[in-house]
C-alpha cells in the first residue's frame, strides 16, 4: 500500500473541505451583510419617520408599538419561548410607563388616563408573571381601543384645523 499517495489524498481532501468551509462562511457572511444592510436601511427609515413625525403621530406610533410587542409576547408564549415573551412584554410595559410619565396632570382627564395606564401595566405584569395570555390580550385590547380613539381624535383635529394656503410665485 502506498502511504504517500493515501496521505496526499487525505491532505487534498482536507484542503477541499477547508475551501468548501471558507466558501460557505463567505456566502453566509455575504447573506448576513445583505440582511444587515437591509436591517440598517429599515432602521434608518424608521428613525427618520420618528424624527420628523409630529407629536400626535408619535403617540400613535407608540400605541402601535405597544400592541405589536404584546402580540410578540403572546406568540412567544405560545411557542414556549419564555425569554422572548418576557422581553417583548417588558418593551410593552416601557411604552405604557412612557404614556404615564408624559401625562400633564393639570388636566382632569389625565388622572383618568393614569388610572387606565396603571391598570394596563398591571395586566401586563401579571400576564408576564403568570404566563397568562388572557391578561396580555386584555391589555392589548385596551391599548387597541385607546389607539383607535387617538386616531379618530387626530382625524377630527385635522379636519378642524385651518387650512394653510401657500402663495404661488
pTM: 0.70
**Is 43 a domain residue?**
yes
Q: Does the residue 45 lie in any domain?
A: yes
Counting Cα atoms < 13 Å in the Cβ hemisphere of 111 gives 3
CA–CA separation, 65 vs 92, rounded Å?
7
Residue 61, phi-psi category: left (phi > 0), alpha (psi -120 to 50), beta (remainder):
alpha
Tell me, yes or no, whether 63 and 133 share the same domain: yes
Residues in CB range of 98: below 8 A, 6 or more apart: 62
| Same-domain check for residues 83 and 128 | yes
Cell of 45: 427609515
- Domain membership of residue 42 (yes or no) is yes
For residue 88, CA distances in Å to 53, 56, 58, 83 come to: 24, 24, 20, 9
pLDDT at 7: 47
Q: Do 63 and 143 reside in the same domain of the chain?
A: yes
Cell numbers describing residue 169 = 410665485
Our count of domains for the chain comes to 2
My answer on whether 27 and 13 are in the same domain is: yes
Structural domain that includes position 3: 1-52
For residue 162, what is the DSSP state? P
Whether 118 contacts 81, CB under 8 Å: no
Say yes or no: 64 and 124 in one domain: yes
Q: DSSP letter at 105? A: T
Of the residues 12, 35, 52, which one is the last residue of a structural domain? 52
Alpha-carbon torsion 151, 64, 99, 147, what sign?
Answer: positive
pLDDT of residue 34: 63
pLDDT for 105 equals: 95
Please state the rounded mean pLDDT for residues 69-87: 98
The mean pLDDT value for 63-87 works out to 98
- 116: domain CATH number is 1.20.120.340
pLDDT exceeds 60 at position 100: yes
Tell me, what's the pLDDT at 132?
A: 98
Amino acid at each position: 500500500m502506498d502511504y504517500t499517495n493515501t496521505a496526499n489524498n487525505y491532505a487534498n481532501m482536507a484542503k477541499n473541505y477547508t475551501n468548501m468551509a471558507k466558501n460557505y462562511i463567505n456566502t453566509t457572511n455575504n447573506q448576513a451583510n445583505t440582511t444587515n444592510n437591509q436591517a440598517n436601511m429599515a432602521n434608518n427609515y424608521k428613525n427618520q419617520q420618528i424624527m420628523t413625525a409630529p407629536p400626535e403621530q408619535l403617540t400613535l406610533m407608540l400605541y402601535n408599538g405597544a400592541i405589536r410587542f404584546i402580540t410578540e409576547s403572546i406568540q412567544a408564549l405560545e411557542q414556549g419561548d419564555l425569554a422572548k415573551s418576557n422581553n417583548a412584554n417588558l418593551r410593552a410595559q416601557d411604552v405604557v410607563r412612557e404614556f404615564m410619565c408624559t401625562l400633564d396632570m393639570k388636566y382632569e382627564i389625565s388622572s383618568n388616563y393614569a388610572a387606565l395606564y396603571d391598570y394596563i401595566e398591571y395586566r401586563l405584569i401579571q400576564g408576564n408573571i403568570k404566563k397568562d395570555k388572557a391578561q396580555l390580550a386584555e391589555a392589548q385590547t385596551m391599548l387597541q381601543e385607546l389607539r383607535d380613539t387617538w386616531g379618530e381624535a387626530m382625524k377630527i383635529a385635522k379636519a378642524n384645523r385651518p387650512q394653510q394656503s401657500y402663495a404661488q410665485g
